[in-house]
Amino acid sequence: MTDALFTPYKLNNSITLSNRILMAPLTRCMADDKLVPTEEMAAYYARRADTGLIISEATIIRPDGQGYPNTPGLFTDEQIAGWKKITTSVHNAGGKIFAQLWHVGRVAHPYFFGEGDVLSASSIGIEGSVPRMRELTFQTPRAASTEEIAQLVTDYAQAASNAMAAGFDGVEIHGANGYLIDQFLHYAANQRDDKYGGTPENMARFALEVVDAVADKIGADRVALRLSPGAYFLMQSHNDDRAVFDYLLRELNSRDLAFVHIGIFDDSMTFDYLGGHASDYVRSIYTGTLVGVGGYTAETGAKAMADDRFDLVAIGRPMIANPDYVHRVKNNETLVAYEEGMLQELV
Ligand code: FNR
Ligand code: 8K6
């Protein structure tokens, strides 16, 4: 039974969602060459406005945060104006939309932003090449100085202000999937010996500084955070990582954010050092609204909610294949199966 999915959910005094199905953030690489969102993207998002909340594709906060072609930005007036068309289309269709704020850290490539260093927590690179542009191999990053970290925090906050100017209902800070914030949260990428490394408190400092700076700008009720306590993508796990997330999640309990969202492709994965599923681990510590994701159907998502494993479910790939996902699920209609070839086009 999926009826429970179609009941409203109050995130806080500012935001109530009309149902419990979120559109997961999905990078589509379809912005124009100035990283401005297009009319086609506006129509694509508006077709999905009957989800309780759309999380936008990851959107870079500044030029050196880019690691993939044609990912949209939120740092120029043109980009803000482009997003304004999207938020207006979504609102006119009765929906709500958060912007996902992104800096890829060591996954960035100067091919996209010209001169300048690739920044990360430490000077530890990753093997391999840029997805979708295999001729570009990953660069060895430079450890950001404390001044550069302060500037990054400021730039996240500015991007959040820009998101509000563009008409978004809030932002989700992308702290997951091996990108910049996640690079501070895992020992495999963070070997600093200053106040941003070495202990759980220090390793969580950058994430909390970003959360607090963004919340100061736009209000904590409009801020969400996506996290990957289980390393699975562009990151190696370490048993000590758990203590970092234990500390971070306890700190977040006092922040009154809109929600925390698991960053994972498949939530049936288990992690020994987390004692099982990433979602169950986060649920055991974090007391606010939790969004589950990763391989769920409407049925398994509703079951997980009935079992109190999380409060809202985000749907990714099926949402690419079915612009009318919510309608189909509500009416027990068959879903179109997702295939990777569907990434070529915005349906
Ligand atoms: C993703 N995912 C993702 N996650 C994120 O935080 N920001 C992003 O921009 C993207 N982009 C993205 C693109 C594509 C093509 C895929 C398939 C996935 C991960 C996504 O939000 C979600 O966690 C996974 O897709 C798992 O959910 P489903 O697809 O099993 O419902
Ligand atoms: C977050 C940015 C994503 C950019 C495009 C990604 C395209 C992903 C296509 C799905 C591939 C899934 C790979 C998942 C890795 C999990 C390893 C266990």
Per-domain residue ranges for the chain?
A: 2-344
The protein residue with its alpha carbon nearest to ligand 1, atom 5, reads: 25
The protein residue with its alpha carbon nearest to ligand 1, atom 16, reads: 26
The protein residue with its alpha carbon nearest to ligand 2, atom 13, reads: 265
Q: Measured between alpha carbons, how far is 15 from 270 in angstroms, rounded to an integer?
A: 32
The answer to whether the CB of 157 falls within 8 A of the CB of 213 is yes
Element (H, E) at 145: none
- Kindly identify the ligand whose nearest atom is closest to the C-alpha of 265: 1
First to last CA, the chain: 28
Element (H, E) at 312: strand 312-315
* Nearest atom of ligand 2 to the alpha carbon of 340: 9
- Kindly identify the ligand whose nearest atom is closest to the C-alpha of 57: 1
pLDDT at 201: 98
**C-alpha to C-alpha distances, 40 to 85, 131, 252, 275, nearest whole angstrom:** 11, 23, 37, 43
pLDDT at 32: 98
The answer to whether the CB of 120 falls within 8 A of the CB of 140 is no
Q: Measured between alpha carbons, how far is 178 from 180 in angstroms, rounded to an integer?
A: 7
The protein residue with its alpha carbon nearest to ligand 2, atom 6, reads: 27
Q: Measured between alpha carbons, how far is 179 from 146 in angstroms, rounded to an integer?
A: 18
Phi-psi region of 26 (alpha: psi -120 to 50; beta: other; left: phi over 0): beta
Over the chain (347 residues), the average pLDDT of each successive run of 10 is 94 98 98 98 98 99 97 98 98 98 97 93 91 82 98 99 99 98 98 98 99 98 98 93 98 98 98 98 98 98 98 98 98 97 97
Mutate to test the pocket of ligand 2, among 59, 133, 233 (most ligand atoms within 8 A of CB): 233
Nearest to 184 by CA among 273, 129, 124: 124
pLDDT at 70: 97
pLDDT at 133: 76
CA of 101 to the centre of ligand 2 (A): 17
Checking ipTM against 0.85, whether it exceeds it is: yes
pLDDT at 278: 98
Residue 265 near ligand 2, beta carbon < 6 Å: yes
pLDDT at 130: 79
Residue in the structure block whose two tokens are 């309608």: 327
Contacts of 271 (CB under 8 A, 6+ apart): 229, 230, 237, 277, 278, 281
Q: Which residues have any ligand 1 atom within 6 Å of their CB?
A: 24-27, 57-58, 100, 174, 176-177, 226, 263-265, 293-295, 315-318, 343
Residue 271 near ligand 2, beta carbon < 6 Å: no
The protein residue with its alpha carbon nearest to ligand 1, atom 2, reads: 26
Topology of domain 2-344 in CATH is: TIM Barrel (3.20.20)
CA of 57 to the centre of ligand 1 (A): 9
pLDDT at 127: 86
Phi-psi region of 219 (alpha: psi -120 to 50; beta: other; left: phi over 0): left
HSE-up (13 A, CA, CB side) for residue 263: 27
Helix 200-218 and helix 241-252, axial crossing angle in degrees, nearest 10? 30
Known active-site residue 196? no
Catalytic-labelled residue, pool 179, 196, 247, 325 = 179
> Does the pTM of the predicted model rise above 0.95?
yes
